[in-house]
Every structure is written in structure tokens, then in C-alpha cells.
Structure 1
């Protein structure tokens, strides 16, 4: 359980989710998905403050709804889920990558490691503009 009592956190993000589809880390400076990484971290930071979320080590569920103007997003489910999973995990562990370009956003994390994700739901909805929703829930025992 989250020490502050929040059992889930949910938020919306404008634009497309970051895609995990190449060897270069999305967190690297100058990555082509830098804007979507920042948007996700900013939305997670705001939601974390609002609900009192602190990083959790328990098993979690990840629920993602992508809203696409054309009915089909440009990326696929597995790459979007991998990108979101990586961006929202703890980035404080020793790494050879300099994350200083993210500023305070490098400290934004909802869980320790994306290996904690035990249940995933993903869906696509038709919408006027690209956006997506993320919900992370702590699973029982």
C-alpha cells in the first residue's frame, strides 16, 4: 500500500504516448520522443501532488486509454505500454545516462520498476485530438 493511502493515480496527457521502439533510451537528451516523455512526466507530477502519491514497490495494474483522431494511433499497444512503463518508473538508480536535461522531472516516478506491473489494460477510442489516460492501481497482496 502507498504510505499516504492513495490506492490509485489517474491522469490525462495531451498528444501521443512515448513509443519504446528503438535501442536509444527515450529518456536521453534529444530523443525524438522527448516532448511526449516530458508531457507524461509533467502530468504524472501534477497528479502525484494532487492525490499524495508516493513511489510504490507493490504490484500494480497499468490501464491506458489512447484517444486517436483517425481511430487508429500511429504506434502499437506494446510500444506505447513499454514507453509509458519505462518513463514512470524510478530513475534514481545508478545509470550511465545523464538525465539533467529533465530537471526536476527526473525525480517523477510512480513505482520502483516496471516489473511490478502485473495487470495491463489498453484500449483505443475515437476522439477529436490525440491524447491518452493513464491509471496506476496498487494490487492487493
Structure 2
């Protein structure tokens, strides 16, 4: 890593995170989580542009804070983390999946593969309406 490399990206997203809880890919055009996927990709795209983030091949940490009415999220931690992890990985070579419905959002990625995530932090905070924060930090060389 050079001195000028960006080693962290963080952003807020309105609504609930996408939930990974079925065999159908979250990135499918007809998935019930489609709107949540688009919202996450839009927020990641804006943040990536703001900090000049480039897709990393290094090991990363993922921090997620879900803000929930009454302090109770609609889903569970593992399904949220799995959904966020999948959506933010590289989508340039999908297997048997047409991503054209995402338009330019199909190019939004923070890391090559969610297997690069070796450290996770998940928190829930009470709030008036659902939203969440995502932070990805480059930890070390692969």
C-alpha cells in the first residue's frame, strides 16, 4: 500500500440493509430486496467518488451499525452482514446473472470478494426511523 492509498470508506444508508436469506441472488432484478440493494449501491457509489476509493484486493474489516425503531431491527445480524457483504463485492463477472437492470451501479464495488472480510463489527442503535452505516477498512496485505 502506498502512502496515498485510501484505507477506509464510510457512509450512511437510509432504510434497512438488504437481507441475504434465500438462494436467489440479491442482485437479481426480481429479488424482493432489489430496492435495498440499489439504495446501498447508490450510497457506496457517492462515498467511493468522494474519497477516490478503488476496489481493493486486500483484507478488509466491515463495520455495520443498524439504527432501528424501538432498537429492534427487522432482520438479524448475519443476514444483514451477508447481504451487505455480497452487494459491495465486485460484480464484473457474474455467473449466469444479468445485471443490466442495475445500469452503472453494477460497477460499484469496495472489494473483489467478500471472502476478504476477516474482521466484522455489528451494532444496533435505537432511532426514529431505520437506517444504517457501513465502514470498510483495509487491514493489511492479503
TM-score tier after normalising by the smaller chain length: over 0.9
Q: Which runs of 5+ in 1 are unaligned?
A: none
d(CA) in 1 for partners of 2:72 and 2:18? 16
d(CA) in 2 for partners of 1:3 and 1:103? 33
Alignment: residue pair count:
141
d(CA) in 1 for partners of 2:7 and 2:118? 15
1:11 aligns to what?
Answer: 11
Q: How does 1:1-141 map to 2 (within 5 A)?
A: 1=1, 5-141=5-141
Q: CA RMSD in A?
A: 1.3
Normalized against structure 1, the TM-score is what? 0.96
Following superposition, which runs of at least 4 residues in structure 1 exceed 2 angstroms of deviation? Answer: 1-4
Q: Secondary structure at the match of 2:70?
A: coil
Normalized against structure 2, the TM-score is what? 0.96
Q: CA deviation at 1:14?
A: 0.1
Is the alpha carbon distance of 1:121 and 1:95 closer, same or farther for their aligned partners in structure 2, counting shifts above 3 Å?
A: same
8 Å CA contact retained: 1:2, 1:54: no
Q: CA deviation at 1:95?
A: 1.6
Q: Which runs of 5+ in 2 are unaligned?
A: none
Is the alpha carbon distance of 1:75 and 1:94 closer, same or farther for their aligned partners in structure 2, counting shifts above 3 Å?
A: closer
- Which digits, 9 at most, give the CA deviation of each residue in 1:7-55, with x for residues without a partner? 1000000000000000111100121100000000000000000000000
